[in-house]
Amino acid sequence: MREFSALSRAGGKTIGLVPTMGCLHRGHLSLVTRAHQEANSTVVSIFVNPVQFGVGEDFEKYPRTEAADLAACEAAGVDAVFLPTAAEMFPQDFSTFVNEEQCAKGLCGEFRPGHFRGVATVVHMLFNIVAPDVAVFGQKDAQQVAVLRKMVRDLFLPVKISVAPIAREADGLALSSRNRYLTSAERRDAPQLHAALLAGKSVARSGVAAPEVLAAVAAHLGCFPAFCPQYIVLADAVTMAPVETVGELGAGKHLLAVAAYLGATRLIDNEVF
């Protein structure tokens, strides 16, 4: 991988990295399109990162679709796919982790202890191996983006973070590799997660107290008993600190984020305003 990057660079090319855990869908391919726009050579990494999964989470059953992923990368004009093994990345004696301590608090950080430590660590490793000029992530994982932006800033990493909008199904459901876990009845309810966020966003005006916005989201989700919400949060879109009162709208300062179980599947989604 390092040789590929060195050769690309020697040929005057910039490198765009799209880090993924595979099971590629249209959302990932939109990240590839963004990477093509921002760099001359696009690398996709596929690695189901064991250290970002907690005990009892879906590491074992996380879908692995390597052949289809490679075909999708080829069709999308990806220049190289980096597919390390877990033993190469995390040998038995691995003992160095990256811990971002501000943006990783709250939201998913509260319910998935160690998750962002695992993400920051593996992404830092991928940056060291691939040496990209730009790395592209999806807005769906808004807290992950905040953590990684902060890591890049705090540690002076020479990588630009580029963020692509959430790719959605026609009915509003945010694309996710985990959507394939949904039963057909759950799939019918799933778009209500986004509809609930839009209900919250519709009551958000400058000066409105956050609980009013959160109540609108909760009320909408409450109409669909199959959902078991884990959190509904209005946060500063950069720091992830809770927002108490809605401020200036339209500047992208507010992140309205939700995580909810639909049956056994944990879904997340967000709106920025």
The site string for ligand PAF over 124-143 (x = CB under 6 A, - otherwise) reads -----------------x--
Of 28, 36, 124, 254, the catalytic one is 28
Residues 6+ apart with CB under 8 A from 117: 51, 52, 97, 98, 99, 100, 104
Smaller CB distance to ligand PAF: residue 98 or 217?
A: 98
Name which of residues 33 to 72 contact ligand PAF (CB under 6 A). 49, 52
Give the shortest CB-213-to-ligand PAF separation in angstroms. Answer: 26
| 28 is an active site residue | yes
Q: Phi/psi at 160 (nearest 5 deg)?
A: -90, 135
Stretch near ligand PAF under the rule CB under 6 A, chosen from 63-71, 119-127, 167-175, 252-260: 119-127
Smaller CB distance to ligand PAF: residue 123 or 163?
A: 123
Give the shortest CB-225-to-ligand PAF separation in angstroms. Answer: 30
Which residue in 202, 106, 201 sits closest to 147, CA to CA?
106
Give the shortest CB-117-to-ligand PAF separation in angstroms. Answer: 12
* 102 vs 96: CA distance, rounded Å: 19
* 16 vs 44: CA distance, rounded Å: 8
For 41-88, the DSSP string reads EEEEEE---GGGSPTTSSTTTS---HHHHHHHHHHTT-SEEE---HHH
User: Two tokens at 200?
Assistant: 């919250």
Smaller CB distance to ligand PAF: residue 21 or 216?
A: 21
Smaller CB distance to ligand PAF: residue 133 or 189?
A: 133
Q: Catalog residues that contact ligand PAF under the rule CB under 6 A.
A: 19-21, 49, 52, 119, 122-123, 141, 144
Catalytic residue numbers read: 28
